[in-house]
């Protein structure tokens, strides 16, 4: 069975970026018989600095994601930060993502679950794999039929993350679909004096290690030129390198 693959830019910057990434995902889908889910955020509500780029906002951003869905035939994943966003986002997104810092927010989980969409809950940097039983329970008890969990590392001192890959089989006790976020797990949160740093060179190894521990899916933020990206550039994968990483996990 082929793994779930989620890929796309961190944030919606402009329509041209979405089209460039989406076209490459369609090519990879056809070449390798995949069903890659397109990911981009319409609002980065948890940026380090008030002056950091956040995105076009929900109304405009959902319109742009809907265009990607219609034009390229890709499934869509995007995240929500407030419970009131769940219903309108569900009109476009196939998968609603709960950000790691918000995975204990009951109202957010309940609202996402009630949409009937797949709910992907990212494990908080301050929680263990065992702790994720409770967000899953909240979502399922609120009506979610399909709940995924995503590993993205744990805080390890200041401005650093480390991945305990044992969390993957632990979380598979609660849901069969456990995703490895191979790009956010190499972040250096707040490590660039007001912005987030990262070590993208470790992304391919993160994917292979997660596969060895039983991950059923892989999450890659990717951009044609991450150096110029408006969010999470240091931990995003160059779009040209995505194919090689996918080959390695297949």
The per-residue pLDDT for range 80-132, each reduced to its tens digit, is 999 999 999 999 999 999 999 999 999 999 999 999 999 999 999 999 999 99
What's this model's pTM, rounded to 2 decimal places? Answer: 0.95
Instruction: Show the domains of the chain with their CATH numbers.
Output: 4-249 (3.20.20.70)
In this predicted structure, the answer to whether residue 227 has a pLDDT above a threshold of 80 is yes
What is the number of alpha carbons within 13 Å of residue 64 lying toward its C-beta?
24
User: What mean pLDDT, rounded, does the chain reach?
Assistant: 94
Provide the pLDDT for residue 76: 98
Provide the pLDDT for residue 191: 57
Structure tokens at 229: 């990206």
3-state secondary structure 141-205: HCCCCCEEEEECCEECCCCCEECCCCHHHHHCCCCCCEEEECCHHHEECCCCCCCCEECHHHHHH
């Amino acid at each position: 069975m082929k793994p779930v693959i989620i890929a796309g830019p961190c944030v919606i910057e402009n329509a041209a970026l979405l089209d460039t990434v989406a076209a490459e995902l369609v090519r990879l889908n056809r070449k390798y018989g995949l069903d890659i889910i397109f990911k981009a955020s319409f609002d980065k509500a948890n940026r380090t600095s008030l002056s950091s780029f956040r995105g076009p906002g929900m109304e405009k951003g959902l319109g742009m994601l809907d265009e990607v869905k219609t034009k390229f035939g890709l499934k869509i994943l995007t995240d929500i930060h407030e419970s009131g966003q769940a219903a309108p986002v569900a009109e476009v997104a196939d998968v609603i993502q709960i950000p790691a810092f918000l995975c204990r927010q009951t109202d957010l989980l309940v609202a996402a679950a009630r949409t009937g969409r797949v709910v992907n809950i990212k494990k908080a940097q301050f929680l263990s794999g065992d702790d994720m039983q409770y967000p899953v329970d909240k979502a399922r008890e609120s009506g979610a039929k399909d709940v995924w969990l995503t590993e993205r590392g744990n805080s390890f001192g200041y401005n650093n993350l480390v991945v305990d890959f044992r969390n993957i089989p632990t979380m598979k006790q609660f849901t069969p679909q456990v995703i490895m976020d191979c790009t956010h797990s190499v972040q250096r949160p707040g490590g660039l004096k007001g912005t987030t740093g990262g070590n993208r060179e470790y992304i391919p190894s993160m994917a292979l290690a997660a596969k060895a521990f039983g991950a059923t899916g892989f999450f890659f933020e990717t951009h044609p030129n991450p150096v110029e990206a408006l969010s999470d550039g240091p931990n995003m994968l160059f779009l040209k390198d995505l194919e090689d990483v996918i080959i390695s996990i297949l």
